[in-house]
C-alpha cells in the first residue's frame, strides 16, 4: 500500500512538502542543479524557485494550466531513488529525465536528441528494487509524446536503448581517467553495445525506469548529445551544450502540453 506524505510533512532528502508541490503530477528530473532554473523558465517564464536541499534544487512551472516540478537529482542511480521515492509520496506519478549524454552510434551527432525507450541495467541502485532479469523500460505514453514533439518541431532525434552505468570512466570504457585503466571485463564493452544497437551511455535511466515500473509510476527520458564517442572522448564545446539544451527545452515542453492535454480530454 502506498505511503503518501501527510499534508505538512517535509521530505527528509528533498525538503519538499505537499503544500510546496501544489498537487504536481509531472516532474522533470535533470541531474545537474544548474540546469533546473533554465529548464523551468523554458516551460514558463513565470516559473518560481521552491527550495534547495542537498542535491535537490526544485522549481515549479505551469504548463497547460497544471503545475510541473523541475527538480535536480544529482548524478547517478542512488540519487534518483531519493527523488522518485519522495516525489511519489507527494503525489507525482510521471517523471521525465532531461539531461545530456554521450552517443555511441555514427548517426547520432553532437546536439541531436536521444529518447530512450529502455536501458541496459549496468547500474547498482535498480538491483535493490528488482532482479536483473526485470526490464528497465520507459513508459510508452511518455515516449510517444516525446517522439511526436520532436517530429513536430523538426528536431534531429533518435529513439533507442541507453547503457546506464555507475562509473563515468571505466564503466563507460573511457581511457581518459587519472589512471587510464579499464578492467578487462569492461574492455571492448563499448563496441559490443554499439553492435547490439544501443544508442548512448548515461547514468540514470536504468534506475529511473526500473524504480518507476516497480512502483506503478511512469517515466521517460530525453537527452542531448554532448559527446560523440565514435569520433572522440572529448566533451563538446559550450555552443553544442547550448544547442542541445535549446532543443530539449522545446521538445519536453511540447511533450508535456500533449500529455497534459490528453489527460484533460480523457477526463
- Which of 139, 141, 160 minimizes the C-alpha distance to 225? 160
Task: Compute the distance between CA of residue 9 and CA of residue 75 in angstroms, rounded to an integer.
Answer: 26
pLDDT at 95: 98
229 is an active site residue:
yes
For 46, other C-beta atoms within 10 Å of its C-beta total 9
Report which of 70, 61, 58, 48 is spatially closest to residue 10, judged by C-alpha positions: 58
> How crowded is the C-beta side of 178, counted as CA atoms within 13 Å?
0
Provide the residue count of the chain.
267
DSSP letters, the chain, are ---PPPTTPPPTTT---HHHHTT--EEE--S-GGGHHHHHHHH-TT-EEEEEETTEEEEEEEETTEEEEEE---SSHHHHHHHHHHHHHTT--EEEEEEEEEE-STT--TT-EEEEEEEEEE-SGGGGTS-TTS-EE--HHHHHHHHHHHHHHT--EEEEEEEEES-SSGGGT---SSS----GGGTTHHHHHHHTT--EEESSHHHHHHHHHHHT-EEEEEEEEEEETTT-SSPPPHHHHHHHHHHHHHHHHHHHHHHHHHHHHH-
Active-site residue (options: 18, 97, 122, 229): 229
Alpha-carbon distance 234 to 73, whole Å?
24
Q: Is 194 a catalytic residue?
A: no
| φ and ψ at residue 48, rounded to 5 degrees | -135, 150
Q: Which residue has the cell 535511466?
A: 205
- Count CB-CB contacts under 10 A for residue 187: 13
For the chain, domain boundaries = 18-266
In the beta sheet, which residues pair with residue 158?
A: 114
Amino acid 262: pLDDT: 75
All residues at 6 or more sequence positions from 201 whose CB lies less than 8 Å from its CB, including other chains: 101, 102, 104, 162, 163, 165, 172, 190, 229
Walk along the chain (267 residues) and give the pLDDT tens digit of each residue.
Answer: 899 999 999 999 999 999 999 999 999 999 999 999 999 999 999 999 999 999 999 999 999 999 999 999 999 999 999 999 999 999 999 999 999 999 999 999 999 999 999 999 999 999 999 999 999 999 999 999 999 999 999 999 999 999 999 999 999 999 999 999 999 999 999 999 999 999 999 999 999 999 999 999 999 999 999 999 999 888 889 999 999 999 999 999 999 999 999 754 443
Residue 192 designated active-site: no
Query: Is 174 considered catalytic here?
Result: yes
pLDDT at residue 265 in the model: 42
The single residue of 18, 35, 86, 147 carrying the catalytic annotation is: 86
> Which numeric CATH code is attached to 18-266?
3.40.50.1580
| Catalytic-labelled residue, pool 18, 35, 89, 174 | 174
How far is the C-alpha of 145 from the C-alpha of 162, rounded, in Å? 19
Catalytic residue, from 9, 13, 25, 233: name it.
13
For residue 31 the three cell numbers come to 541531474
Confidence (pLDDT) at 235: 84
Q: Give the residue from 85, 9, 96 showing the smallest Cα distance to 61.
A: 96
Q: What is the pLDDT of residue 263?
A: 52
Amino acid at each position: 500500500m502506498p505511503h503518501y506524505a501527510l499534508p505538512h510533512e517535509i521530505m527528509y532528502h528533498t525538503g519538499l512538502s505537499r503544500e510546496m508541490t501544489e498537487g504536481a503530477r509531472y516532474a522533470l528530473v535533470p541531474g545537474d542543479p544548474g540546469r533546473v532554473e533554465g529548464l523551468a523558465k523554458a516551460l514558463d517564464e513565470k516559473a518560481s524557485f521552491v527550495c534547495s536541499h542537498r542535491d535537490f534544487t526544485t522549481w515549479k512551472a505551469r504548463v497547460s494550466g497544471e503545475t510541473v516540478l523541475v527538480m535536480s537529482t544529482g548524478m547517478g542511480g542512488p540519487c534518483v531513488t531519493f527523488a522518485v521515492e519522495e516525489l511519489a509520496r507527494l503525489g507525482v506519478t510521471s517523471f521525465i529525465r532531461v539531461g545530456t549524454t554521450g552517443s555511441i552510434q555514427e548517426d547520432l551527432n553532437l546536439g541531436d536528441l536521444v529518447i530512450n525507450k529502455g536501458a541496459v541495467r549496468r547500474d547498482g541502485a535498480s538491483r535493490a528494487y528488482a532482479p536483473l532479469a526485470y526490464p528497465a523500460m520507459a513508459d510508452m505514453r511518455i515516449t510517444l509524446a516525446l517522439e511526436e514533439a520532436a517530429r513536430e518541431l523538426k528536431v534531429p532525434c533518435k529513439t533507442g536503448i541507453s547503457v546506464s552505468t555507475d562509473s563515468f570512466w571505466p564503466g563507460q570504457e573511457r581511457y581518459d581517467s587519472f589512471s587510464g585503466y579499464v578492467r578487462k571485463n569492461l574492455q571492448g564493452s563499448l563496441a559490443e553495445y554499439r553492435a547490439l544497437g544501443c544508442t548512448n551511455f548515461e547514468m540514470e535511466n536504468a534506475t529511473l525506469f526500473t524504480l518507476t515500473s516497480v512502483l506503478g509510476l511512469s517515466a521517460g527520458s530525453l537527452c542531448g548529445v554532448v559527446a560523440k564517442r565514435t569520433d572522440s572522448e572529448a566533451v563538446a564545446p559550450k555552443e553544442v551544450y547550448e544547442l542541445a539544451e535549446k532543443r530539449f527545452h522545446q521538445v519536453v515542453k511540447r511533450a508535456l502540453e500533449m500529455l497534459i492535454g490528453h489527460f484533460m480530454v480523457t477526463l
